[in-house]
Structure 1
C-alpha cells in the first residue's frame, strides 16, 4: 500500500532556529524544510514527504505577500497530488498567517500550520513533536473541509479562533472564545464536531499582490486617557481602512470617538475588542464612544474577530478593489461571527 503524499513548507521561525555562533545561546532561523522533516521520528513512515524551504525568516519579519507566496505553493502541491499540506513558521505571527490563509484557502485538502516555542537545540525542543502532530492532522480524513488548522501541543485549533496567549510558555496557543476543535491522542486525530460551514474563500488577483496595489490597513490601539492623537495623526492618503483595538466590547473615549468619526467619514473604520476573547457589542451601551454612538458615526464592529484578524480581513478584501462601508459590513457579517 502506497503512502500518502504530504507537502511540508518551511518559512523559518523558532522551529527552524539554531545558535547563531559557536558557543552562543542566541538562535536564528537556519534549518530548511528537509532538515525539519528529517528530525521527526516516524514521519517518513507516515507519508511520502515533499519538503520545500520557502523562507528562513523570523516570523515578525514575515509579510502578507510572503503568505500569498506560501498560498500559491500550497495550491500547487495539492494540484500535484498532496493529500495534506503543512506549513511551519515562527509563532509570533502564526495566528495571523493562519487566518489570512484561511480566508483564501479554497480546497478541502487540509492546510495545517505549526511551529515551536523552543529551538531545535533546547532541552525539550517541541518542534519535532508539533510537526508530527501537524502531519497527522493534515493526513486525517476527518480534517478535510475544515479550512486552515493550527496544530501545536497535541491540540488542533481553527484558524479563525486561535491566538498566541503566552509569550514564552510551551503551551502558548489557545482558542479563548470557543476552545480547540480537536486533539491528537497517541496517533489518532479526534474532533468534537463535524466540519462547520465555511465562508466562501476570498479572491486573490494572481499569486502575489503587486507592490503598487499592496493594501494599507493601519491598526491603532486605544488606551486609558486616549484623546485620539495617534489616530488623528494618520495620513489617510493611500489608506484602505483603519482598525481600532477598542476597550471592552469595542469602546473608546469621548474625545477619541470624535476622531474616529472624522476618520470614518474618509475611509472605513472597524473597532475590535482588545480583550482577547468575546465579540464587540451591538446594542448595550449608548454613551459617547460606546457601540451605539460609534455605529451612528459610521463605524463598524468587528464582531468576534480580534484586532489583528479584523485587519487581515480588510487587507485581503482590499486586494480585489476599493473598500466601502457596505463591502466591509458584508465581509464582517460573513467572517466575523461563528
Structure 2
C-alpha cells in the first residue's frame, strides 16, 4: 500500500472540484460542458482499490470552464485547506488556467495540507479519457509524506510539477504540461507510488502566507509586446483604471524603442512589472543598454519579474496590490 501522511490512521482525502473538461459531459450545444460532481470524478479513479479504508470528502467549489476560474475561487479552496482534517487535497478544474491555479495555491496555501491540482485533456465521453488516471496520481501525491513541506503541486500525465515553473504547452495532448526546457518535472508516479527526486529546496515563506483574505482584488492588466506593437496597447491601460500592469516583453524583457515613452509613463502612473514572453528562464536586468532594453526600462522604475512568466507575474502583482504590499518586495522572492 502506498505511504500516506499517517501510517496509523486511515487516509483522508478532500477533493475540491471547480468544473472543467474533467467534469464535462455532452449537452444541447453538440459539445460538452462541466456537469459532473467531484464524487463522480473520484469514483472513476478507483481510489478504493489503492486505499480500501480511504475516507473521502467532496466539495463543489464551482462548476465552470477553465476561463472562468478566479482568484476568489482559489481563496475558497485555501479556506477549505485551513479547516479540513484531510491529510491531502486534490483540486480538479479545467486545464487552460490550471498552471495559474496551482501557482496561486502555492502562494496562498499556508494550511500545511498539500493541494495537488489536476484536470483532464480528454473529457469523459471520449475513449481514453485521462481524468481518472490524473485524479489517481494527484491523490497519491497529495497523500504522500514527500510533499508535506510543499504547499501545492500540479500533477498531470503521471508527472508532478513545481507550480512556479509549469505551464500548459500543448492544446490537446494528454502530456500538455511542461516545466522545461531547464527544470522539468520534479517527480512522477510509478506503481502507485510517488517518486520525488527533484523536490525543490525549502524556500522563504510566500509573502502572502497567513494574510487575511482581502476585501477585493486589484485589477492588473497584462500586455504582450510583439513586432511593431502599437503605442495604443500601453496607452489603453493607462486610461482604463487599472491598479497595475505586467508587460510581457520580447526576449529578456524588451520593447520596441517607440514604446519606451508609453512604458515609462505607465510606470510613473502605477506599478509595472517587466517579464519575458518566452516563458522560461529569468528576465534580464543588466545586459542590454539599447533604447527599449531592460537596463533603461528598469531604471525608469519598472519591476523585474525574475523567474516568473508574465501570467504568474500578474498573479503576484494582483495579490501584492490587493494585500497592500510593496510590489518590488513581493517580486524579490522570485528574483
Q: TM-score range by the shorter chain?
A: over 0.9
- The change in CA–CA distance for 1:5 and 1:135 in structure 2 (over 3 A counts) is same
- The change in CA–CA distance for 1:238 and 1:43 in structure 2 (over 3 A counts) is farther
Do residues 68 (structure 1) and 75 (structure 2) align? yes
Equivalent positions of 1:161-310 (< 5 A) are: 161-176=165-180, 177-201=182-206, 202-203=208-209, 206-207=212-213, 209-210=214-215, 213-235=216-238, 238-310=241-313
Report the number of matched residues.
Answer: 324
The 8 Å contact of residues 34 and 63 in structure 2, kept in 1 or not, is answered as: yes
Displacement of 1:278 in angstroms is 1.2
The 8 Å contact of residues 203 and 320 in structure 1, kept in 2 or not, is answered as: no
Do residues 147 (structure 1) and 151 (structure 2) align? yes
The 8 Å contact of residues 137 and 189 in structure 1, kept in 2 or not, is answered as: yes
Displacement of 1:204 in angstroms is 6.5
The 8 Å contact of residues 116 and 130 in structure 1, kept in 2 or not, is answered as: yes
Match of 1:38 among 43, 46, 59: 43
- CA deviation string 1:140-195 (max 9, x = no partner): 11111022101110000011111000111110001124111101011110111454
- The change in CA–CA distance for 1:128 and 1:309 in structure 2 (over 3 A counts) is same
Displacement of 1:227 in angstroms is 3.4
RMSD, aligned CA: 1.7
For residues 187 and 179 of structure 1, the distance between their equivalents in structure 2, rounded to whole angstroms, comes to 21
Displacement of 1:2 in angstroms is 4.2
Displacement of 1:236 in angstroms is 5.1
Structure 2 partner of 1:7: 14
* Comparing 277-286 and 185-194, the one that deviates more: 185-194
SS across alignment from 2:154: strand
The 8 Å contact of residues 178 and 185 in structure 2, kept in 1 or not, is answered as: yes
Structure 2 partner of 1:111: 115
- CA deviation string 1:241-286 (max 9, x = no partner): 1100110110001111111011111111111111121111111111
For residues 151 and 303 of structure 2, the distance between their equivalents in structure 1, rounded to whole angstroms, comes to 26
For residues 195 and 233 of structure 1, the distance between their equivalents in structure 2, rounded to whole angstroms, comes to 40
Do residues 330 (structure 1) and 329 (structure 2) align? yes
Equivalent positions of 1:16-55 (< 5 A) are: 16-21=23-28, 25-43=30-48, 45-46=50-51, 47-55=54-62
Displacement of 1:293 in angstroms is 1.1
Flag structure 1 segments of 5+ consecutive residues without an equivalent: none
Could you tell me the TM-score, scaled by structure 1's length? Answer: 0.91
- The change in CA–CA distance for 1:140 and 1:205 in structure 2 (over 3 A counts) is closer
Displacement of 1:27 in angstroms is 0.6
- Runs of 4+ in structure 1 off by over 6 angstroms are none
SS across alignment from 1:218: strand
* Comparing 195-204 and 85-94, the one that deviates more: 195-204
- The change in CA–CA distance for 1:277 and 1:195 in structure 2 (over 3 A counts) is closer
Flag structure 2 segments of 5+ consecutive residues without an equivalent: 1-7
For residues 301 and 41 of structure 1, the distance between their equivalents in structure 2, rounded to whole angstroms, comes to 45
SS across alignment from 2:269: coil
